[in-house]
Amino acid sequence: MNIRLRLTIMSFLQFFVWGAWLITIANYWFGTKGWQPEQFGAIFTTLGLSSLFMPTITGIIADRWINAERLYGVLHLLGGIALAIIPFVNDPATFFWVIFAAMIFYMPTISLSNSVAYNILKSNALDVIRVFPPIRVWGTIGFIAAMWTTNLTGNKATANQFFIAAIAAAVLGIYAFTLPKCPPQKSTQEKKSLSETFGLNAFKLFANYKMALFFFFSMLLGAALQLTNMYGDRYLSEFSKFPQYADSLVVKYSTVIMSISQISETVFILTIPFFLRKFGIKSVMVISMLAWVLRFTLFAYGDPSSGLWMIILSCIVYGMAFDFFNISGSLFVEISSDAKIRSSAQGLFMMMTNGFGAVLGSFVSGYLIQHYFVLENKMWDWHGIWLCFAAYSLVVAVLFALLFKHKHDPKQLENVSH
């Protein structure tokens, strides 16, 4: 089988596993199980907590002792087992630990999948910069396909979503053992000190005020990145409680509607080079933050009839909100850190956004909803929830625009691209 096709299948399945449950888990938690929002906030912290340490640990193991493709396969098989156990859990505390185990196995496979792809492409003398992006796009397509599968099979609020994910993980785990070998690179790793191996040298960047400020705001914005993944599908599904919306397309196909967000990502990512060259890194990051304000505000005022356009536009805006900050932020780290610690610095950026930021957003949103946005009839004040998130994003955007100083230099961007 063609190498590109084999890696495309890997990328597709990698994100199919995640997409089968990430967007719809709230429907299972609140609609099927009837558990509390404050407890649900803890569930999404598992993504952040596992991102703090597992990618580094598995990276060291793959670099020193075990073929990357084998480690990748083992992690998916173990993650699949954890996902298959979830439907048998009947209390939120146990649910947290089982989903945490699943994330401990899954989150490092995101970076490992990139490492495996890079290794195989290079060993086959293929241009990574040209060949890899089209392969990676199929990961987003896999995520969308999983969302559609869960919704169109009637499983967006059932335990079957976890079985769908578990089966995909098992298939990918077995498939990984058929990929070309990616052996450890001992010779390069043994030259590194312990602090370099664990990426600790990157923490020196906090001594620089500008970098420290950037990482602080990365954490604050990271708190908003998963909010619509956490609550978006549940929000759309709850329109079923209103007779005039009960049979609407938004209620029936809420997950399909939410998948517009991922489709939007594939479009907006192509526009980033233009925006970066035209406006510069700081402006693109501010645009991203303001896009989050628009994302939440449109959800606050949308509905399945006259306000359907707001829901659709909110999903389209998501692509700009999510991609613009992640990519422009990553580029800022690239041009602002020494070549010796660049990889570690990128890891630190991801730690602040997907680690500490995600944990912060999960806990705080769960607490706020539980104590301030649950109405007397047990329904949620979705209008207030989304406006609260929008206000938070607006404050972050304004403070970032005022406090973070960065001059646009097109030459820096040209140097990175070359």
Residues of the chain below pLDDT 50? 188-189, 416-418
What is d(CA 372, CA 336) in angstroms, rounded to the nearest whole number? 41
Q: What is the DSSP string of 120-156?
A: HHHHTT--HHHHHHHHHHHHHHHHHHHHHHHHHTT-T
| The dihedral sign for the CA sequence 76, 78, 79, 85 | positive
What is the C-alpha separation between 38 and 333, in angstroms, rounded? 34
- What is the pLDDT, as a whole number, of residue 418? 43
Q: Which two tokens stand for residue 23?
A: 């967007």
**What pTM was computed for the model?**
0.79
What per-residue confidence (pLDDT) applies to 417?
A: 44
Structural domains of the chain, with CATH? 1-191 (1.20.1250.20), 206-411 (1.20.1250.20)
The C-alpha angle with vertex 309 and arms to 304 and 315, in degrees rounded to 5, equals 95
Question: pLDDT, tens digit, for every residue of 130-183?
Answer: 777 788 889 889 999 999 999 999 998 899 999 999 999 999 999 999 998 888
Nearest Cα neighbor of 221 from 299, 272, 266, 285 is: 285
> Contact, 221 vs 325, CB < 8 A?
yes
Pairwise CA distance, residues 295 & 323, whole Å: 13
Instruction: Give the per-residue pLDDT at 329.
Output: 83
CA atoms within 13 A on the CB side of 138: 17
Two structure tokens written together for 297: 């505000």
Report the phi/psi class of residue 337: left, alpha or beta, with left for phi > 0 and alpha for psi in -120 to 50: beta
